[in-house]
């Protein structure tokens, strides 16, 4: 259900099975994910792509959701803009079992 909502918000999910498994394990972040998905589009240019993926840290056994912000041409203030959006929900993650990182990998949209 959450993946359908994310998809309707225009967020791509390249590996839905891994995201679904993460959300089943950390269901307490579903409401937050819905809020972020609902509001993220209005904070970035129309050509911005958002991709929800599970990041697996190669050095330690840690996984977390990552919402990548991707643009064809990156503005110099992209990291500041991402930080402003993330600051609105970071506090809500403190008591959750899962984590959601909003960032960019500076790749072009796929």
* pLDDT tens, position by position, 14-44: 999 999 999 999 999 998 998 888 888 888 9
- Contact status, residue 24 vs residue 32, Cβ threshold 8 Å: no
Residue at 10 is within a domain: yes
Q: What's the number of domains the chain is made of?
A: 1
Domain assignment present for 59: yes
Mean pLDDT of the chain: 89
Give the mean pLDDT of 68-92: 92
3-class SS of residue 16: helix
**Is residue 70 in some structural domain?**
yes
- Three-state secondary structure readout of 55-83: EEECCCCEEEEEEEEECCCCCCCHHHHHH
pLDDT of 99: 92
Expressed as residue numbers, the domain containing 48 is 2-103
Tell if the pTM clears 0.75, that is, is over it: yes
Residue whose structure tokens are 């307490």: 28
Give the pLDDT band of residue 91 (cuts 50, 70, 90): confident
- Distance CA(17)–CA(44), nearest Å, equals 27
Q: Which among 102, 107, 93 is positioned nearest to 44, based on CA atoms?
A: 102
């Amino acid at each position: 259900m959450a993946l359908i909502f994310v998809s309707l918000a225009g967020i791509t999910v390249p590996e839905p099975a891994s995201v679904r498994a993460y959300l089943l394990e950390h269901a307490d972040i579903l409401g937050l994910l819905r809020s972020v998905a609902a509001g993220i589009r209005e904070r970035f240019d129309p050509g911005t792509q958002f991709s929800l993926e599970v990041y697996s840290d190669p050095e330690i056994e840690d996984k977390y959701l990552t919402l990548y912000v991707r643009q064809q041409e990156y503005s110099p203030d992209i990291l500041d803009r991402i930080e402003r959006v993330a600051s609105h929900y970071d506090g809500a993650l403190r008591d959750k079992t899962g984590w959601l990182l909003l960032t960019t990998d500076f790749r072009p949209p796929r």
